[in-house]
């Protein structure tokens, strides 16, 4: 009897082991749903199967547009900037999965303008001052480079592959951006270039808008005549660089599109400051510069607004690096 029981036990163990090793037909296939690659880069997509122990794991691959990215045996190669769908198909054709592949090649700013450090009076000194522009106070900033133009839609597409802007055009400033969207762009650009681009602080922004140590004390960035330097009071933004630059050769720091600064919003004090970066925390960020649809008051170099970090249709940004 004991011998018989042992035989039954062995049979049960073998049956369990065989069932554990038994493979089933493929019931599903999955791949990574989203992928960013650089032009010329090759990345391998690895399919996973349901169940994991399925047999017939042979698959084929398709690219919806080989001009943007090719695929061979799961190896995806970026050809040119754009977005394409890569599909994996099981051998029987019954199961598929897709991956959205964005091919990027970030473009560095056309020109960065050197702003020599110095001391200036930050805040309003004209006849249109509002409370958050006062009191006027002394600020010292170190030297930095700032982009000659706001980041354009062409530059944005090269780094992130899609545009959310309301008004479309390669040389229009990119807009309808959250503060975090701007950070995503900067992260991509820095990863590609190995540099340390960032948003300007509010103090850096105003110092550059005023013309730095070449400032002539203008009300707007580069002139006391707003029409010379700003796109304002109109129905649509203009391509960057259509108006006159300021004393440093920087364009569009008055009008056309608001620009994100790195700072949380805070009220001014009358204490002198060196390289201020705003409050440590907050619920709103600073935007500067005015916008195409607003009146000239918002284009003054001292004008400042506090907004939530959400996507805003009239806000873009420009870059700074050491």
Any idea which residue has 């369990």 for tokens?
16
The pLDDT assigned to 204 comes to 98
With 0-12 / 13-18 / 19 or more C-beta atoms within 10 angstroms meaning exposed / middle / buried, residue 10 is exposed
CATH number listed for the domain at residues 24-104: 2.60.40.1080
Mean of pLDDT over the chain:
93
3-state helix, strand, coil in the chain (%, to 5): 20, 30, 50
Is residue 93 within 8 A of residue 27, CB to CB? The reply is no
Is residue 177 within 8 A of residue 260, CB to CB? The reply is yes
The secondary structure of residue 290, as a DSSP letter, is -
Domain with CATH 2.60.40.1080 in the chain: 24-104
Is 80 exceeded by the pLDDT of residue 21?
Answer: no
Integer CA distances (angstroms), 310 to 98, 131, 283, 313, in order: 30, 24, 11, 10
Rounded-to-integer distance, Cα 43 and Cα 203, Å: 42
Extract the tokens encoding 242: 């259509």
Is 50 exceeded by the pLDDT of residue 118?
Answer: yes
Q: pLDDT class for 95, splitting at 50, 70, 90?
A: very high
Is 80 exceeded by the pLDDT of residue 14?
Answer: no
Cα torsion 292, 296, 297, 303: sign: positive
Is residue 10 within 8 A of residue 17, CB to CB? The reply is no
Cα torsion 141, 147, 149, 151: sign: negative
Is residue 170 within 8 A of residue 154, CB to CB? The reply is yes
Is 90 exceeded by the pLDDT of residue 119?
Answer: yes
The pLDDT assigned to 3 comes to 52
Rounded-to-integer distance, Cα 128 and Cα 149, Å: 27
**Any idea which of 16-20, 26-30, 280-284 has the lowest mean pLDDT?**
16-20
Domain with CATH 3.90.1580.10 in the chain: 112-321
Phi, then psi, of 47 in degrees rounded to 5: -75, 150
For 94-101, what is the mean pLDDT? 95
Extract the tokens encoding 308: 């939530």
The pLDDT assigned to 24 comes to 83
Cis peptide before 51 (omega within 30 of 0): yes
Which of 110, 91, 102, 1 shows the shortest CA–CA distance to 47? 91
Torsion from C-alpha of 202, 312, 182, 66, nearest 10 degrees: -160
Name the fold adopted by 112-321: 3.90.1580
Torsion from C-alpha of 206, 210, 211, 217, nearest 10 degrees: -160
| Percentage above 90 pLDDT, the chain | 86
Q: pLDDT class for 23, splitting at 50, 70, 90?
A: low
Is residue 134 within 8 A of residue 124, CB to CB? The reply is yes
Q: State pLDDT tens for residues 242-283.
A: 999 999 999 999 999 999 999 999 999 999 999 999 999 999
Integer CA distances (angstroms), 132 to 268, 304, 305, in order: 7, 7, 8
């Amino acid at each position: 009897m004991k011998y018989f029981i042992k035989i039954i036990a062995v049979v049960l163990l073998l049956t369990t082991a065989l069932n554990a090793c038994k493979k089933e037909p493929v019931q599903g296939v999955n791949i990574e749903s989203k992928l960013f690659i650089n032009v010329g880069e090759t990345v391998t997509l690895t399919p996973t199967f349901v169940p994991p122990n399925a047999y017939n794991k042979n698959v084929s691959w398709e690219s919806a547009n080989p001009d943007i990215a090719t695929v061979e045996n799961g190896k995806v190669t970026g050809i040119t900037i754009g977005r394409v769908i890569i599909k994996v198909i099981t051998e029987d054709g019954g199961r598929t999965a897709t991956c959205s592949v964005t091919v990027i090649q970030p473009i560095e700013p056309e020109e960065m303008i050197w702003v020599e450090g110095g001391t200036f009076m930050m805040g309003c000194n004209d006849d249109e001052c509002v409370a958050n522009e006062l009191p006027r106070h002394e600020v010292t900033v170190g030297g930095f480079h700032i982009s000659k133009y706001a980041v354009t839609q062409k530059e944005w597409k090269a780094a992130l592959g899609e545009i959310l802007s309301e008004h479309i055009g390669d040389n229009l400033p990119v807009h309808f951006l959250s503060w975090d969207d701007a950070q995503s762009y900067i992260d991509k650009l820095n990863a590609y270039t190995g540099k340390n681009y960032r948003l300007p602080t509010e103090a850096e922004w105003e110092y550059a808008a005023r013309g730095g140590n070449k400032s002539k004390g203008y009300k707007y960035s580069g002139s006391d005549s707003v029409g010379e330097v700003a796109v304002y009071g109109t129905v649509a933004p203009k391509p960057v660089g259509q108006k006159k630059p300021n004393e440093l050769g920087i364009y569009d720091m008055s009008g056309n599109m608001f620009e994100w600064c790195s700072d949380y919003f805070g009220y001014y004090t009358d204490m002198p400051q060196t390289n201020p970066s705003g409050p440590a925390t907050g619920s709103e960020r600073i935007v500067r510069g005015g916008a195409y649809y607003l009146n000239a008051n918002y284009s003054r170099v001292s004008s400042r607004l506090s907004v939530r970090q959400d996507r805003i249709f009239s806000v873009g940004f420009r870059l700074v690096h050491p």
